[in-house]
């Protein structure tokens, strides 16, 4: 019998056609994030990742990944939001790539996240965002670091 969870990582996918919207100092109770998501939905912009920080005082930061093809819509929405909530810092970063590590074995084997993050640390690659699920872990990096990151990840996890 073959155990499909024996090998924790099966593949690495690369998403270089997205951008990241980040809002800083978002106040609780103002529903800024809800407004952003509503505006993006109304403009038919698909949000693939949402990563929100733990609160610091009465504010939090949040980043979203959306398709780069929607850059013009995203800038208009961000500008309108910024006009209504001047205390919120909004940045749009199109110089990013999301590296997605996949594997059913991640459900039962410990240490995958530590190994994945060690690859970035040992290669002096800054991680801009991290998201996880039961069978995937994604790290967003600057486009300039992608080739080094991919080579190092493939070597560390024996991916061809």
Q: What pLDDT digit, counting tens, does each position of 9-35 carry?
A: 899 999 999 999 999 999 987 799 899
4 pLDDT exceeds 80? no
Whether 19 and 65 have beta carbons less than 8 Å apart is answered as yes
Domains annotated for the chain, with CATH where assigned, are: 11-15+96-156 (3.30.2130.10), 18-93 (3.30.2130.10)
* Chain segment 106-151, per-residue pLDDT in tens: 888 888 999 999 999 999 999 999 999 989 999 999 999 999 999 9
Cβ 116 vs Cβ 101: under 8 Å: yes
Whether the pLDDT of residue 3 is over 80: the answer is no
Pairing of strands 18-27, 59-67: antiparallel
Interacting residues of 40 by C-beta distance below 8 A, sequence separation 6+? 47, 64, 66, 73, 74, 77
Task: Quote the pTM value.
Answer: 0.87
42 CB contacts (<8 Å, ≥6 apart)?
A: none
Tally of CA atoms within 13 A in the half-sphere of 26 that contains its CB = 22
The tokens describing 106, both together, are: 């991640």
Q: How many residues does the chain have?
A: 160
User: Closest Cα partner for 152 from 120, 114, 112?
Assistant: 120
137 backbone dihedrals φ, ψ, rounded to 5°:
-140, 125
Q: What is the DSSP letter of 91?
A: E
Measure CA 67 to chain center: 12
């Amino acid at each position: 019998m073959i155990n499909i969870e024996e090998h924790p990582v099966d593949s690495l996918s690369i998403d270089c056609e997205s951008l990241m919207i980040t809002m800083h100092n978002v106040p609780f109770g103002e529903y800024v994030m809800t407004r952003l998501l509503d505006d993006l939905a109304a403009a038919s912009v698909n949000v693939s990742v949402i990563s929100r920080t733990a609160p610091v005082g009465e504010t939090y930061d949040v980043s979203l990944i959306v398709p780069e093809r929607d850059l013009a819509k995203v800038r208009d929405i961000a500008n309108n939001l910024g006009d209504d909530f001047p205390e919120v810092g909004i940045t749009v970063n199109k110089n990013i790539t999301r590296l997605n590590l996949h594997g059913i074995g991640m459900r039962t084997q410990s240490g995958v996240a530590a190994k994945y993050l060690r690859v970035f640390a040992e290669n002096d690659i800054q991680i801009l965002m991290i998201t996880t699920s039961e069978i995937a872990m994604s790290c967003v990096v600057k486009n300039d670091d992608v080739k080094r990151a991919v080579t190092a990840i493939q070597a560390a996890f024996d991916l061809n």
